[in-house]
Structure 1
Amino acid sequence: MTPANAQQDGQQVTILRPRTDTLEIACEVRGPEAGPAVILMHGFPDDARAWDVVAAQLATAGCRVYVPYLRGYGATRFLSAETPRSGEQAALGHDLLGLMDALRIPRAILVGYDWGGRAACVVAALWPERVAGLVTGAGYNIQDIAASGQPAAPALEVRFWYQWYFQLERGRAGLTQNRRPLCRQLWEQWSPTWKFDDATFNRTAVSFDNPDFVDVSIHSYRHRYGAAPGDPAVAEIEAGLAKRPTIAVPSITLQGEMDGVTVAEGSAGHARYFTGPYDRRVLANVGHFLPHEAPEPHVRAVLELMGR
């Protein structure tokens, strides 16, 4: 694991490439080595740039901040061509736990949204001894795959057009051929009040050129509806998640009022899944891409969980 260094926002950022049993994970690290560990997990379709402001402010506050690229993004790579390119929730949680092991992080505050929030919830639920606190976007993100065949109201179903598209080989071809315009369409739809510019999108979109981006993405959206098999290597984790485990660690959930994927009311009933200290906060005029749009509430939530 040979580190590389760069300057960002006036801070030194070290690029590590720790290896798990499955991946070589590209991970940006900043802040004092002795600081409390905070891991920031991005979503789909996004990358580590989502956390630039949050990471900089937490590092300034004395935290040791880790920002990995998820499987299928940026410079993160599978170690073997034989490993299934799974995007299922168990694989994401397995990756996060493996990253913590590889970096010898015994315990951390986990922060994430979308896929990253799902990974954080998985680890918080199944390995609570490794989690000092949880900040997650849109509430309890562990999928109820057994109930995934139950239709929602049409007004909600229409928000998931891309998920139905990805069930088809036409959708795989569309994501392959049009990954940047398709992902930009999702950014605009999911965060209608966020007026990002071309430069902001393009800084992230380079991560979608990862050779596994399409396969991992398509598998994620097929597996959650029972349309693709899971990776046998994480079947035990998936079985644990099927029990809808509760989360006992101190948790703060952040919900964008203008989220174009999950309506704000959707996470209002999630308190039953959190058995420890819990607070839900709705962010006005904020959409789905929470850390881009509202970095300060994330920083405040992390520092509160640290007792500051």
Structure 2
Amino acid sequence: MDTTGSGLATQGGEFKTGTVQANGRDVSFIEMGRGPLVVALHGFPDLPRTFRHQMPQLAAAGYRVVAPFMRGYSPTDAPDEGPFEAAILVQDVVALIDQLTDRPAVLIGHDWGATVARGASILAPEKISGIVCMSVPTAENFGRALVTNPSQQRRSWYVFFFQLPIAEMAVAHNDFAFIEQLWQEWSPGWNCPEEVMAEIKGAFRRPGVLKAALGYYRSQFNPSLQHPGLAEIRKRLAEPIPVPTLYLHGADDGCIGAETTEGMEGAFLHDFERHIIPSAGHFVHQEQPETVNRLILNFLSRQHK
């Protein structure tokens, strides 16, 4: 493992950076703190520093928080043809935990990270003591909304647009104005800090990153992008979630409506707690960090009694 000082500043101090080999790839990450492991998983279109408000608070509370670059986003990843489906992302996280600790970890996931956190808990419940999922409900709930909820069908237009071969060109046009517009639509009334958006755009300018990010969505609908060797894991991702779960969703989410989260309780075998956060959109953890941090710390304290 390579862990070095990074110079990446935040209000609570400075992040360290590191790289480990896990699941056949270099996994780069930022981290802060010492203690029981918390792995924080970002979504689209985003980067590990999305958790810049959570990491200092968790570190101060006695946790080691590691936020990896998801597959395809990492500065050390070599661009390739995938796979980028959920099953391989789940494998990535379980392998990363094995490299970082020999004790159960907590996973925090936003957007795609939420999907991966749930899947990892199904695949390796003995390695995960609890999960915090934000802004994306279970696949069953989301799939039902795509069939029955006209408002959600309109919100999810980008998922279907990404299946088109022109998507790369459209997203990259005018210095990734597409991405900036998504953030504005998904978190209405809240402005992403300029330096954060600049970092995100910089990441997407790197060769292979945009193709990888769109590959997450394309592999959902195109079986030819799903690896045959992952078939068993793919089936298991529909199983009930076997660990305690905290679920957070912004009341004003313009990407996935808060109403899509209703009735998820049956998908969880242990304690399940859901909070709809007022005055917050899709990036709830950045928009209402004090509320989100309080709920996460309360949840973690119950997992480490």
TM over 0.5: yes
Instruction: Name the counterpart of 2:94.
Output: 97
Instruction: Name the counterpart of 2:184.
Output: 188
Query: For residues 155 and 61 of structure 1, what CA distance do their matches in structure 2 show?
Result: 40
Asked if 1:215 is matched to 2:217, the reply is: no
Tell me which of 277, 298, 308 is aligned to 2:292. 298
Contact 2:53-2:289 within 8 A present in 1 as well: yes
Query: For residues 142 and 210 of structure 1, what CA distance do their matches in structure 2 show?
Result: 30
Asked if 1:64 is matched to 2:60, the reply is: no
SS in 1 for 2:16: strand
Displacement of 1:211: 2.3
Query: For residues 236 and 148 of structure 1, what CA distance do their matches in structure 2 show?
Result: 23
Query: For residues 277 and 193 of structure 2, what CA distance do their matches in structure 1 show?
Result: 22
More helix by share: 2
Query: For residues 46 and 139 of structure 1, what CA distance do their matches in structure 2 show?
Result: 14
Displacement of 1:200: 2.9
Contact 1:149-1:225 within 8 A present in 2 as well: no
Query: For residues 87 and 178 of structure 1, what CA distance do their matches in structure 2 show?
Result: 26
Calculate percent identity across the aligned residue pairs: 29
Displacement of 1:72: 1.9
Asked if 1:285 is matched to 2:256, the reply is: no
Instruction: Name the counterpart of 2:32.
Output: 30
Displacement of 1:219: 2.1
TM-score, normalising length: structure 1: 0.89
Query: For residues 42 and 306 of structure 1, what CA distance do their matches in structure 2 show?
Result: 19
Asked if 1:160 is matched to 2:156, the reply is: yes
Name the amino acid aligned to 1:252: L
TM-score, normalising length: structure 2: 0.89
Inter-CA distance 160–93: structure 2 relative to 1 (3 Å threshold) = same
Tell me which of 191, 195, 199 is aligned to 1:199. 195
Instruction: Name the counterpart of 1:16.
Output: 18
Query: For residues 231 and 192 of structure 2, what CA distance do their matches in structure 1 show?
Result: 39
Contact 1:111-1:136 within 8 A present in 2 as well: yes
Contact 2:172-2:178 within 8 A present in 1 as well: no
Query: For residues 88 and 140 of structure 2, what CA distance do their matches in structure 1 show?
Result: 13
Name the amino acid aligned to 1:200: V
SS in 1 for 2:166: helix
Contact 2:135-2:284 within 8 A present in 1 as well: no
SS in 1 for 2:241: coil
Query: For residues 148 and 210 of structure 1, what CA distance do their matches in structure 2 show?
Result: 35
Instruction: Name the counterpart of 1:47.
Output: 47
1:74-89 equivalent positions in 2, closer than 5 A: 74-78=74-78, 84-89=81-86
Instruction: Name the counterpart of 1:133.
Output: 130
Name the amino acid aligned to 1:298: V
Contact 1:19-1:25 within 8 A present in 2 as well: yes
Query: For residues 228 and 149 of structure 1, what CA distance do their matches in structure 2 show?
Result: 25
Instruction: Name the counterpart of 2:239.
Output: 245
Contact 1:74-1:206 within 8 A present in 2 as well: no
Inter-CA distance 297–188: structure 2 relative to 1 (3 Å threshold) = same
* Structure 1, unpaired ranges of 5+: none
SS in 1 for 2:21: coil
1:104-183 equivalent positions in 2, closer than 5 A: 104-138=101-135, 140-142=137-139, 151-177=147-173, 180-183=176-179
SS in 2 for 1:286: coil
SS in 2 for 1:205: helix
Inter-CA distance 149–31: structure 2 relative to 1 (3 Å threshold) = closer
Name the amino acid aligned to 1:68: P
Displacement of 1:142: 4.0
Name the amino acid aligned to 1:6: S
- When structure 1 is superposed on structure 2, of 58-67 and 172-181 the one drifting more is 172-181
SS in 2 for 1:18: strand
Displacement of 1:165: 1.4
The number of residues matched between the two structures is: 300
Query: For residues 299 and 287 of structure 1, what CA distance do their matches in structure 2 show?
Result: 16
SS in 2 for 1:17: strand
Contact 2:2-2:18 within 8 A present in 1 as well: yes
Displacement of 1:21: 2.8
* Structure 2, unpaired ranges of 5+: none
Inter-CA distance 215–228: structure 2 relative to 1 (3 Å threshold) = farther
Displacement of 1:17: 0.7
SS in 2 for 1:260: coil
Inter-CA distance 179–279: structure 2 relative to 1 (3 Å threshold) = farther
